Amino acid sequence: MIACQTELDCLYCGRPTVHTVFYASLYIKRIVCHRCAHAVEKPAAVLLRQYCRDLPWRATALARRLKHEAQADPLLFVSSLPRRVVNKPIELSRELAEVCL
């Protein structure tokens, strides 16, 4: 899970404080204030719905990207395929775990 630290205004502390923003896949999952520990969290069901809704769009974008890569450099594209075929399902299952857990 990717986590980014930044400064945001905390409504409970009443001033700008350091927050950690946790991402699951491309989506914000949780934002925590370092000072008061107040957390804004997206329910797993909402996150999962968001993730599933975007999957077809992501698949289309991936197909388009692969097509461009194949046209630009066929040799490089073919050589990268085995690694990608193995890695993509791993990546998807990791994302799904982040979203659900």
What residue ranges bind other proteins (CB under 8 A)? Answer: 4-11, 16, 18-19, 21, 23, 26-28, 31, 33, 40, 42, 50
For residue 53, the surrounding DSSP H or E stretch is helix 44-72
Q: Which two tokens stand for residue 37?
A: 């520990």
**E-only strand ranges, 1-101:** 2-10, 15-24, 27-33, 39-41
Please report how close the Cβ of residue 86 comes to other proteins at its closest, in angstroms.
23
Please report how close the Cβ of residue 78 comes to other proteins at its closest, in angstroms.
26
**6 or 71: CB nearest other proteins:** 6
Cβ(52)–Cβ(44) below 8 Å: no
Please report how close the Cβ of residue 82 comes to other proteins at its closest, in angstroms.
26
Please report how close the Cβ of residue 28 comes to other proteins at its closest, in angstroms.
6
**8 or 78: CB nearest other proteins:** 8
Cβ(51)–Cβ(25) below 8 Å: yes
